[in-house]
A and B are shown apart, each in its own frame.
Chain A
């Protein structure tokens, strides 16, 4: 029994060595595989900024009174809207919005102050370029919060003018506290998610392709006549990519924590341990793909085909809570979803194993199923 294992380890080691030599020989590829995640993380960290501030805004103040200027100031001083132009004719709004220079046009009608001081409800218009529905939604929510606050003040001012004084000006103070991510920084949300996506790409896609290459070149047959057993072969082919996956992970963590200042509240050891589980699942999927594909091109396309739903439905960029219920159920079939959840919770909420087992179990199930089917199919393909 003992010799069986030592022999087996020896055989696996030989194939791993062969694989590593093969990878090291193609320097360009190696550099690419190691550098790409770094570039992606840097670009993502800077770009994935949905904290909308300084929305380019055009002011169309047809009233030009103290009251209207006060309202305009409320918008501009909020820090969300920054003025890029003033127009006198609301019809000019078209030009600004069509060209994409302005995202918001604030229109205060003539007679605004008369209505505010007087008895009627006055109407202002906030025109939003909604081609980007994300930014438009945020701009809309800012605008309505600003107008709601202005309303309270104007109501009290109106009352004061007619001699009615309320004892307290403000009765209910909303005290907002943001947990886990008080500065509402995008990087804190994005970097952990990105880690997951990159890890999946570098393990699943690359293994899938590397296994098929052997098939396509005909070297798979050569390998099958060697004493290497098929499971040993799979293991050996997969191990270098486990290494690459972990190296990528270290790079991304380093960048995220030290460059972007993303706080890691949980345990680093746990993060690595659970990432190991995910890598197992992801490699299982890669091997599965390789048994289904005849050429590298097919393997690549299938991997990509599988990757896109994983990216979109894992909650990596688009929160699952905002999806319609039916789609939310579909997301349970997405392996990446569980890993994204695990990494985010460890990062932001400092979660430990007891809080994470409900994500870990489905992830493991996916892994075992994928590896199981893959090894069954692999044996068939080998025979």
Chain B
């Protein structure tokens, strides 16, 4: 392998990249847009969920409970309605997600100390939001319940000889106290972008030469097969790492998400992961005849595992056994665990060594096998 020839090819590749505006779009703007949308747009906790009230009782009691709902910060008023059909209409139009229905005798029964109920209707089409809403709503009603008991005793002139509430729960959100989704998403974005850069761009670069017929020109040049591959790959390794640094920097500058652990370790894991994605990219390019095919295959083998099967958004614990077992073969899974560990928990090699071992094994196997495949074809 001649260094000179490889360097010349790298230079040529960089010139191609620099000339094409769409590369700049993908390398610099794309990660930033993802970061900004996730950072500002996406929230997992509910806040100010639009709520309508159908109050048949119109009493201080019902108004008090509504007040408690609004004061919690989880719900906001989307108006009053009269009738189920109106609630249905609001739900259908997406203008309300929760409805409180008070029966006509709500206030009077409570005043007499009788049992009554309040209906909480939830638009369940988004199950995640609905689950959270049900949890918070029942908590609020329970709180109101406790207040009622105390209030009634006070009316009878009995002062409680103890403090209420009996138990206070202090929920401590570790590693991410404000439940900011950006902290949870940031490592995921790095994985997705590096997969895209590593696998898709590499595959495109090589299949592109094939399709345009420039592959044969390369074959007739003094460049050997290995030199060609190395020269083609290096620019994308470099760009994938640049993207990693870019996302980390933007995460800090825009959202103040610091790297809790060591940056060197972050870099080390990124290198391991890049090796894996290059292996995948080479494999894709070796089995595809057209750019269209390469693109579809590359998306299938990178985006699906890195978004869905890595724990990026959906927790692996909830997967059925077969898919859970599959995630052990998914490099994205280890990389995301390592990134979260380094980024959010600030842990080091003492905790993350299994991830490093698995990632190295996967990378070495993949890269080894595809290089072998190429060697045969190019020889």
Contact = CB atoms under 8 A, between A and B. Distances in A.
B125 A348 contact: yes
Nearest to B345: A98
Nearest to A122: B167
Contacts of B351: 98-99
B296 interface: yes
Contacts, number: 395
Nearest to A186: B127
Most buried by B among A39, A48, A301: A301
A312 interface: yes
Contacts of B293: 26, 28-29, 32
Contacts of A54: 317
A207 to B, nearest CB: 10
Interface string B309-352: 10101110111100100000000000001001100110100010
A189 B125 contact: yes
B346 to A, nearest CB: 9
A21 interface: no
A188 interface: yes
Interface stretch (A2-10, A220-228, A316-324, A367-375): A316-324
Contacts of B183: 131, 133
A181 B26 CA distance: 39
Contacts of B116: 171-173
Contact of A188 (B20, B42, B125, B317): B125
B4 to A, nearest CB: 27
Interface residues of B, number: 126
A213 B292 contact: yes
Interface string B142-175: 1111101110110000100111111111111111
B169 A124 contact: yes
Contacts of A130: 173-177, 179, 184
Interface of B: 20, 22-23, 25-26, 29-30, 33-34, 37-38, 40-47, 49-50, 65, 88, 91-94, 97, 110, 113-132, 134-146, 148-150, 152-153, 158, 161-177, 179-181, 183-184, 196, 204, 208, 211-212, 287-293, 295-297, 299-300, 304, 308-309, 311, 313-315, 317-320, 323, 337, 340-341, 344-345, 347, 351
Q: Which 10 A-B pairs have the closest CB atoms?
A: A141-B135, A181-B124, A148-B142, A130-B173, A178-B124, A130-B176, A119-B162, A134-B44, A154-B166, A29-B293
Interface of A: 26, 28-29, 32-33, 36, 39-40, 43-44, 46-56, 71, 97-100, 103, 116, 118-138, 140-145, 147-152, 154-156, 158-159, 162, 164, 166-168, 170-182, 184-186, 188-189, 205-206, 209-210, 213, 216, 293, 295-298, 300-302, 304-305, 308-309, 312-313, 317-319, 321-324, 326-327, 330, 341, 344-345, 348-349, 351, 355
